[in-house]
A and B are shown apart, each in its own frame.
Chain A
């Protein structure tokens, strides 16, 4: 599977470098909203995952690799491994940049926006969100191919954001049902809100158990997603 990641590395390395440079430029901007930083970090993960797929689609190399001595299941597993490596690499850059910028620029905006994003709970949140995004995208990609998968995925995210906006509206009229979860404080900065939830869980369970649970949850999500992807990809015809 590492061989598959290596060919993706050869194909996508310059664009990965370019997206990383863009992220670094973005991360040095004085951002106050932690949710923006988190959303951009997540977009960074997905963009990097898509780069090799875009090259594969443009150059039709899926046909080539499906003809090589590999099973479809191996090809799918290789893509999941690539997703994990990208998640880890992006995580290093995202949190590394947060730490570096936070250390250099000591303004109230940075402290307010970035401090919560440097906690272990923020790392867990990033891994869970990125892992979930990868695990939901890949089955759609293996079933529908790049073009249609991207349309479905974008449509799904638009629906999620629309629903989130709707929830915010509901919360603003103080609906009793959701008030305990979506407090006004949470809605003021949902990024920090999510991290606060995770922080509460980490405090309750202890850091080792919390991270074990995060790892187990991610493993379960990835295994289930990979199973669906393998089934879909084995049916794909080139």
Chain B
């Protein structure tokens, strides 16, 4: 018994020390390769594209229940609402389509992107509100409600399109590095990093909850959660995961979460958009 336990403890130590160090300077391409390799080794039976299904790629019983839910998607009404909002004329007569001319062919897979003009990381939600303000409308509140509905509509139009986030220059790489640092940094009273739960211990249970791999986490957002009783954005989820470790969450769509989304989404490059999704 004793020997077995120390063997388990030793195995855990090894798995932690094998984890790639956050401080090492590496190009985004190198990071991406290492990230994919890590999850491929950890979950050899999960095909690359199946990572978009989060915990359901790991737990066949939960997957069955979830597939039943997806047959009558709880977010369908949100896609409809988002579509209406997207095509409803502003007071000036224009619609959101004027800001997103390519929306029909699917645009979500290209977000977030580094805007070389402003030097900022632009997320889809940020641009939805920028579009409203540019047209003399009030911005939507972040997190849930109409912003999530519009985002769900645009995600839906991108289904099957592969995530293609780019890091075009040094300034963009600086934002990427900020996001990467955020992801690997311990925080909160409980001293936990995103990577602790979603890289090193992905596939383990925290209480009864299975921890999803970080690879593929962003593909199905915005997400309908039964816990929320509705749809929420990725930044709402970031905020929840920060509170969970008793850290003060950052403002949604502030520079910290946008940088995090930039890194986090880049790590899922090549995976197809399957949003909006449904989760527990």
> Do these two chains really belong together in a complex?
no
